[in-house]
Structure 1
Amino acid sequence: MIDPLETAREVLRTEAAALEVLANALPDDFTGVVDLIAGLSGRVIVTGMGKSGHIARKIAATFASTGTPSMFVHPAEASHGDMGMIGADDVVLMLSNSGEAAELRDMIEHTRRFQVPLIGISSRPGSTLMQAADHLLTIPALPEACGIGMVPTTSTTLTLALGDALAVALLRRRNFRPEDFSVFHPGGKLGAQMARVSTLMHAKIPVVAPDTPMAEALLVMTAGGFGIGAVVDGGRLTGVITDGDLRRNIDHLMERTAGDVATPDPLTVPPDMLAAAALAILNDRKISVLVICEGDVPVGVLHIHDLLRAGVA
């Protein structure tokens, strides 16, 4: 009986070895392709048939999410009207391990007729695709990991990895930042981690003046529901009253004012801070609430539960 774990190791080692070969022998046109796409005013149209089509969809999605406008066009659908999706300012990135998929020929002809730059990714430099292409990204012609030489495994892994390499090279060329990434990922875990404090904070702040009697300050804190009171004088935050401050001043508490009890110069964060960074501060300081300030003017309150509900953790 064949051990499935040993089969898995064999497949992974075969593909890992192939990636090492590709890393040590990147196509000569790679830098030229990065330059071409970086200066593009249109989009990268990624296409492929069969398994190459699945890889093409992923490459297009990676481009689009990292600042390179891109979309997938199915080659067969292109032959039936979708060729109009390819504009004069676009570039076509065409994937085909053999370079001979019949469904690609109409799109190849279209790029030649309208002088749309064509980038080919294939393991066969003498194929129809690669002979027609303006830029050749040739991947090593290495054995597939299936053992029978027919199932696209090694070849699709190499193509996908080369697409990732292009996307990251372009990302770094554009100095693409985490805040740029968040623009394209407003939902899900990534979107939550890239959210700004300003999008999660509460604008209604439990505010008391420095001379507010603690009996009244306690009512404001309780109504606020955050377990704190912001001591504000002339529009400036001068202190924060927390549950810890109340315990430390329990003796004769009702004889004191908010200014007497508050912690001066409290920790605050700006509204444009990343939510993930704010969560790190809360965890590090072992506190549950932050006052959000623009300069020394309070503009909101952020509770750790707001971050947890948003999926930041």
Structure 2
Amino acid sequence: MKSLTDTYTLANGVEIPCIGFGTWQTPDGDTAISATLAALEAGYRHIDTAAAYGNEGSVGEAIRRSGVKREELFITTKLNNPDHGYEATLAAFEKSMALLGLQYLDLYLIHWPNPIKFRDHWEQANAGTWKAMEELYAAGRIRAIGVSNFMPHHLEALAKTAKVAPMVNQVRLCPGEVQPLAAPYCKAHNILLEAYSPLGTGKIFDVPQMQQIAQKYGKSIAQVCIRWSLQMGFLPLPKSVTPARIQENAQVFDFALSNEDVEIIANLTDCCGPSRDPDNIPF
């Protein structure tokens, strides 16, 4: 990978830019509009949002204001937890598209596999959702479909009724969190791993090993985290609302980490904390 617009190729042949701009926890309104605009001005062409984030409308407004051609962009959103099931998914998709102001979507994901509302019949709910997403995909409304926070047993359950396999699994991947169950499964099944929260938590900036590695390469700790994610074969989704940091997070193509440093970062198990168990989320 040599630039923001270099791509991974999904299982169906669709190309996806190798770094996405994340919008989780970015407040709706001026903050989300200005942050997304700053990302597009910095060269990002892959924008990641979700119905649950509550900022799809602002992301759509930034896309319109940017003047960037639609065909140059890769836009992802995700199905909200209360909207699982066939009919609800179709309705939720139309709502997201109206907020985004788009004619088609590049990637649509099931945000969580086992929401509390469907805890006693999550497999059935996911099967209905996936049927709706397959139909939207076949109709050309979505260029690629996938999941988020799915572990192997969720993917195996989905495969019982799926006609199209998920092309993406977006999970928490950061220093010390390499998803030892989900990552090997996805790689074996040609499912691209997208890394949300690639910087982990704020604690990463206080980790001595990360400070030493960043100093060694003359880069920020954030840049090292993003570069590590790429070298692991992940697609990182860094987020910020600060234009200078948005630009800095994109400047990761003029250096490479040694294999030894990649391994050190992967094994920093105490710095970012464990990921949530998707079968026990309270929402």
**TM-score, scaled relative to structure 1:** 0.28
**TM-score, scaled relative to structure 2:** 0.30
Greater length-normalized contact order (CA 8 Å, ≥ 6 residues apart): 2
Q: Which has the larger helix fraction?
A: 1
